[in-house]
Structure 1
């Protein structure tokens, strides 16, 4: 198999599953071939990626030609063969850079979001005609791309699940966190991810309020995308009288250490395309409760290696209480979830599949 020079492109400002996947791609592909990364300066991904070989471009919504010209020059200078982009808003920058470059590299998008319609105009047809391949992160996403993108402009489609691995845990930090939050025998409910309405952190607060008489503590791990939503959560905590039961940690790089505090992790997004945090928790042997839509339906066998809920805080509270009252079920689900991840969502195996897809 020929080695190809790969460029990972992501100008997104935040740090969630999509951006973490960019970092994973770079870390894995750079062990096999030359891999460059192009990101936005001072973004959360910039802070997270602890490498010196980063190239910065500022996205322009109204004048994408300027960042595209800068990227095209970088592509030619570094003899890039494949542009691998992730954030849908980067599509115009990536396509223009490909067209403007001398090398005309293969353009591949990892599609982390579903598609509900296609803008059937010349501009969008031109964009998709210049994409060589789309990597769908679930079968549902692949089906949507087949349904909505017209066949005459549809790129080649491939489906490869995301993967994760068992991370090294700093037990010293875990013990420090236990002491910091005075954790003894509480049943700890966690939710990890960007703090925003669609992620459903408010549902966890509502569920904990319904279980207020139980020995439960909740950790909401992640930074707020918008101050308004953060203030809403803080107000809910105050109104429900949960100041001693709900912790808002803010941004942290110690996500895996925080997960070690959890008895259960929740994904409360209304419709999560994949749910990287689901398999990360399962790899940490933390039972998952996830919304019964989108990606979790392709990951979790309900009642066997995780629990699914209908998206309401009432049903979420019922699932939390079920685990609260059944330690044996907690252990069974945790072990089954771990075994599934090692078999079906193993990072090295999934990255090998994706690399083969990119360079084929």
Structure 2
């Protein structure tokens, strides 16, 4: 059987500090197919060490330049089909901001279509239902190459032409049951046969897992997440303050950056927690996994919330990565998280409740046996339902089908 030739369209991956879970998927995909990656707006440097391999498979193009714009003008004259695409973008972009974003990426979509036209590509896949999938939509419409896209969380809520995209796509992948149900509420049952629940996956650890260190003075908590509202950091800060007042020796590392960093640092300083809650910033993915493998982290916590705008988590890969290293995890009953942590795979607490969160942490501090049981339960859950090789095989079958 011939090897699939695929185009992947991402937001920034393999560049940038985010989308590590997409990097992992593309690394697995490249071993089973021929892949060409087009980031929407790539940075100049690759941040994560393991993503360096993907540089050789990536075609670096800016978000927009003069050449793309002139190419679009030429298409407007010689390719009547482009007018149909533009009309669809105007018709199905539900808000002015979405319309503007889609029009901004239109020249790049047209330009990519010309690049891949003679490459004999079998399938185009985009991650995110926002403008990355708009690019894939444009490319597919101009080339006739089948396409698909993966929906995560906020991109479902945004609803960037989702029904029109589902209509033209070969399939729509949704990474959580909660997200799947939300997508069907948006697009209706008309395209239910095109929608598939297929999780993101994590790889089996490449690093040898060490033993829990007995000589640590502090209980070490890690929160690997961007400093944005949906991640709920402020509730963890309040919980840490409660534990401090009870006399527990804890350290909490925030491993990520984002727009809320200044406000969160101010809160930490006002509560005199600056020696306990440490802002490490974004760290390379391989360094994070080394922390897990070396058992330098006792617990991973993601205190996620549903924001007033309705934004919520999908199924966080950041939790899966800790679980596969047998580290106990605590998170909230939001989005697709219960789907991951049910049946003894982790501790689920009520969102926005620092008291319940503090109690859960205290329970883990006091109960070493429970930490081991949750570590084993989380590991089994990921291996049975979120194994990357198995998920990539299913994804490729959908693309071939």
Same structural fold, with TM-score higher than 0.5 when normalized by the shorter chain:
yes
Query: In structure 2, what is the equivalent of residue 94 of structure 1?
Result: 136
Query: In structure 2, what is the equivalent of residue 308 of structure 1?
Result: 348
CA RMSD of aligned residues (A): 2.7
Query: In structure 1, what is the equivalent of residue 125 of structure 2?
Result: 84
**Separation in 1 of the partners of 2:44 and 2:278?**
22
Aligned partner of 2:56 among 52, 56, 61: 52
- Asked if the contact 2:109–2:139 (Cα under 8 Å) also holds between the matched residues in 1, the reply is yes
Query: In structure 2, what is the equivalent of residue 256 of structure 1?
Result: 289
| Cα drift, residue 288 of structure 1 | 0.7
- Alpha carbons of 1:318 and 1:251: their partners in 2 closer, same or farther (altered >3 Å)? same
Aligned partner of 1:286 among 315, 327, 335: 327
Question: Match of 1:278, SS?
Answer: helix
Q: Does 1:238 align with 2:272?
A: no
Question: Where do 5+ consecutive residues of structure 2 fail to align?
Answer: 65-100, 306-311
| Cα drift, residue 135 of structure 1 | 0.6
Query: In structure 1, what is the equivalent of residue 90 of structure 2?
Result: none
- Alpha carbons of 1:283 and 1:29: their partners in 2 closer, same or farther (altered >3 Å)? same
- Alpha carbons of 1:2 and 1:155: their partners in 2 closer, same or farther (altered >3 Å)? farther
Q: Which moved more, 1:253-262 or 1:273-282?
A: 253-262
| Cα drift, residue 152 of structure 1 | 4.3
Question: Match of 1:247, SS?
Answer: strand
**Separation in 2 of the partners of 1:126 and 1:171?**
46
- Asked if the contact 1:5–1:79 (Cα under 8 Å) also holds between the matched residues in 2, the reply is yes
Query: In structure 2, what is the equivalent of residue 189 of structure 1?
Result: 221
- Alpha carbons of 1:230 and 1:116: their partners in 2 closer, same or farther (altered >3 Å)? closer
Superimposed CA distance per residue, residues 168-197 of structure 1 (whole angstroms, 9 cap, x where no aligned partner): 34899x9xxx9xxxx832111110021212
Counterpart mapping for 1:106-125 below 5 A: 106-113=146-153, 115=156, 125=163
Q: Does 1:328 align with 2:369?
A: yes
Query: In structure 2, what is the equivalent of residue 216 of structure 1?
Result: 250
| Cα drift, residue 140 of structure 1 | 2.0
- Alpha carbons of 1:152 and 1:332: their partners in 2 closer, same or farther (altered >3 Å)? closer
Query: In structure 2, what is the equivalent of residue 29 of structure 1?
Result: 29
- Alpha carbons of 1:237 and 1:117: their partners in 2 closer, same or farther (altered >3 Å)? closer
Q: Does 1:225 align with 2:273?
A: no
**Separation in 1 of the partners of 2:337 and 2:9?**
26
Query: In structure 1, what is the equivalent of residue 198 of structure 2?
Result: 160
- Alpha carbons of 1:155 and 1:91: their partners in 2 closer, same or farther (altered >3 Å)? farther
Question: Match of 1:274, SS?
Answer: coil
- Asked if the contact 1:206–1:313 (Cα under 8 Å) also holds between the matched residues in 2, the reply is yes
Superimposed CA distance per residue, residues 232-267 of structure 1 (whole angstroms, 9 cap, x where no aligned partner): 111111111112111111121111123332111011
**Separation in 1 of the partners of 2:46 and 2:235?**
31
| Cα drift, residue 125 of structure 1 | 4.7
Question: Match of 1:77, SS?
Answer: coil
**Separation in 1 of the partners of 2:167 and 2:139?**
14
Question: Match of 1:96, SS?
Answer: helix
**Separation in 2 of the partners of 1:234 and 1:195?**
11
Q: How many residues align?
A: 342
- Alpha carbons of 1:163 and 1:64: their partners in 2 closer, same or farther (altered >3 Å)? closer
Q: Does 1:9 align with 2:9?
A: yes
Q: Which moved more, 1:151-160 or 1:286-295?
A: 151-160
**Separation in 2 of the partners of 1:118 and 1:197?**
20
